[in-house]
Amino acid sequence: MWPRNNKSSQEDNQKNDTGLENVNHGDVKTDMESAHIEKIDASVDNIATSIDNLPVSWFVWLAALTASMAGLLFGYDTGIISGVLVYLGDSLDSRPVTSNEKEMITALCSGGAFVGAIFAGNTADKFGRKMAIYLGCVLFIAGAVIQGAAYTVAQMAVGRLVVGFGVGCGAMVLPLYVAEIAPAKARGKLIGLNNMSITGGQVVSYAIGAAFASVPNGWRYMVGLGAVPAIVLGVLMPFCPESPRHLAYNGRNAEARLVLRKIYKKATEDQIDAVLLSICSACDQAREINESGSRFSKIKQLHTVPSNLRALISACGLMVISQLSGFNALMYYSSTLFALVGFDNPTAVGLVVAGTNFIMTFVNMMMVDTMGRRKLLLSTVWGMAVGMIAIAVAFMWIPVDLETMEVTSHGVSSAAIVVLVFIIWFVVFYGVSVGNTAWMSTDFFPLEVRAIGTMWLTCSNWGANVIISSTFLSMMKTWTPSGAFGFFAAICGLGYIWLYFFYPEVSGLVLEEVKEVFEHGFGVKYARELRKERKEIIEERMKTMEKPIAAGH
């Protein structure tokens, strides 16, 4: 949001300089004070009618696409472990790996990612967003090598933990970085590139898993090849800019201006100055707050300032729903699950699921900025619940030995087909909404706590991830498969209720403007009014600017 502390005479001079006339906005609702309208006017006059309506430069798309390779690492690891668990055989400790060891191997990556996200938050604040991404690349490469060379469960566990550190770094910093280089009108699509990279990495991992399924010790190639995209990302990142907001926060305004000039290639110098001044104003406020205390005080500020806490609850709540809804259980254990219901090539069947998720991620990226996150979420979460209920019912007709976790019948039954169909159904609804929108919530946090807030957002992802990855097989044994998927259905149902009351729509608002939403409760109603006011003012300003052009002709 454009900080507007100037006196009214200065505001009038600015309006006269731009040739804009005063616009009568009509009656405003009681909660939209005159000061609030002045803020909207200032933001629109200086940014929205000019910068926000310029086409997004290829430089921004290429930078976001390059950085999004960190998401590919995340997706690749999520998908590849599914095939690895099936094909480990007796490669580790010269014996079959137990169910508890499989859960541990799977969960250690999520646990490492939780820790990695915490360190990445500090690194991103102190050394820059790019440095945290570099750190993630190094850790992922090291972990991939350790896994590929493992001959004991302990070695494999260490490799998974190190990979988790790298995944956590990338998963935490990437959406933060992209949100800070993205123009407001394309922020959803650009962050969507990260989500497409995650799901694309899952597709690649299942394809590689299927390709090496019949190769002796093929699982070693599966995990080792994960180092390749990390190397490519490390080579390409020097060509990407640092976040202009991070540069401005650290007093490097000239560098921040150069980055903004690349982001907004067709903008005038005055427009660039306006955006930079807006960013610097927000940075000054954030710096004043942060320099008054330690890093602990910044964490305290995130949890004790009501607007920050509400932003944290909204963002992390959606992320927890995305993880506890059951999707990652399908990703981590899909090959095990499809083998359980009788499919001969479970990894190949899992590729269908991953491919569906990839396609729906693209659909999400195309829809999210026009339809809005909140509307998209409320239109789809109910479908996730229906899918999980259908899977739970279908498992009632599949005879499963809960001790060995094997099907007691032969061949693929009609109930198994129903399971596959409704897993795909679930993924369609998940991929187009919750799975991708959860990572867009980094823009909920104001600049002074954005890195810390994004760190907690990522930690909530991996914390919930650890719960699911370390307990899913045990849930299947204890509650039966029907009980496990019934639990996921209940989470989806509760998630719908939570989203309705606690998740506001912020699409189309600039980062400095979103903070205002959470100063009014959880801001569901206020955000709706704010976006409506902003849209009306933009339309009025555009009409006003078009009149002199028409008169000139």
Q: Give the C-alpha distances (Å, rounded to integers) separating 515 from 57, 357, 530.
A: 26, 32, 12
Q: What is the torsion angle, in degrees rounded to the nearest 10, for the CA atoms of residue 36, residue 259, residue 262 and residue 49?
A: 10
**Taking Cα atoms as reference points, which of 40, 285, 76 lies closest to residue 167?**
76
- The share of the chain scoring above pLDDT 70, in percent, equals 85
For residue 42, the model assigns a pLDDT of 52
State how far the Cα of 305 lies from the Cα of 295, in Å rounded to an integer. 15
pLDDT at 321 over 60: yes
State how far the Cα of 315 lies from the Cα of 460, in Å rounded to an integer. 9
What is the average pLDDT across 89-106? 90
- Confidence band (pLDDT; 50, 70, 90) for 8? very low
- Mapped onto helix, strand or coil, the DSSP state of residue 406 is strand
- Confidence band (pLDDT; 50, 70, 90) for 3? very low
Q: pLDDT tens digits for 231-260?
A: 999 999 999 999 998 899 888 999 999 999
The answer to whether 255 and 78 have CB atoms below 8 angstroms apart is no
- Confidence band (pLDDT; 50, 70, 90) for 391? very high
What is the average pLDDT across 385-404? 87
Kindly provide the residue ranges of all beta strands, DSSP E only, lying in 110-193, ordered along the sequence.
Answer: none
pLDDT at 291 over 70: no
Q: Which two tokens stand for residue 8?
A: 């009214």
Tell me the domain boundaries of the chain.
58-245+294-502
State how far the Cα of 478 lies from the Cα of 438, in Å rounded to an integer. 30
Least confident span in 102-116, 173-187, 289-303, 416-430: 289-303
> Judging by beta carbons within 10 Å of its beta carbon (0-12, 13-18, 19+), is residue 379 exposed, middle or buried?
middle
Which tops the pLDDT comparison, 455 or 63? 63
Q: What DSSP character marks residue 400?
A: E
- Confidence band (pLDDT; 50, 70, 90) for 118? confident
**Taking Cα atoms as reference points, which of 436, 315, 310 lies closest to residue 367?**
436
The answer to whether 325 and 495 have CB atoms below 8 angstroms apart is yes
Backbone phi, psi, residue 213, to 5°: -60, -35
State how far the Cα of 57 lies from the Cα of 54, in Å rounded to an integer. 9
- Confidence band (pLDDT; 50, 70, 90) for 190? confident
Q: Give the C-alpha distances (Å, rounded to integers) separating 59 from 169, 177, 338, 368.
A: 24, 14, 43, 22
**Taking Cα atoms as reference points, which of 74, 124, 292, 264 lies closest to residue 186?**
264
Least confident span in 218-222, 301-305, 340-344, 439-443: 340-344
**Mean model confidence pLDDT for the chain:** 83
State how far the Cα of 450 lies from the Cα of 243, in Å rounded to an integer. 13
- Confidence band (pLDDT; 50, 70, 90) for 306? very high
What CATH architecture is 58-245+294-502?
Up-down Bundle (1.20)
For residue 9, the model assigns a pLDDT of 40
Backbone phi, psi, residue 504, to 5°: -85, 165
DSSP 329-351: HHHHHHHHHHHHTT-S-HHHHHH
State how far the Cα of 250 lies from the Cα of 395, in Å rounded to an integer. 56
CA angle (41 as vertex; 178, 548 as ends), nearest 5:
105
pLDDT at 26 over 80: no
What is the average pLDDT across 29-52? 50
The highest-confidence range among 38-47, 358-367, 493-502, by mean pLDDT, is 493-502
What is the average pLDDT across 205-209? 90
For residue 28, the model assigns a pLDDT of 42
Which residues, including other chains, have CB under 8 Å from residue 65's CB and lie 6 or more apart?
193
For residue 11, the model assigns a pLDDT of 40
- Confidence band (pLDDT; 50, 70, 90) for 407? low
pLDDT at 21 over 50: no
Q: pLDDT tens digits for 137-181?
A: 999 999 999 999 999 999 999 999 999 999 988 888 888 888 888
For residue 549, the model assigns a pLDDT of 52
> Judging by beta carbons within 10 Å of its beta carbon (0-12, 13-18, 19+), is residue 393 exposed, middle or buried?
middle
- The share of the chain scoring above pLDDT 90, in percent, equals 33
State how far the Cα of 458 lies from the Cα of 438, in Å rounded to an integer. 10
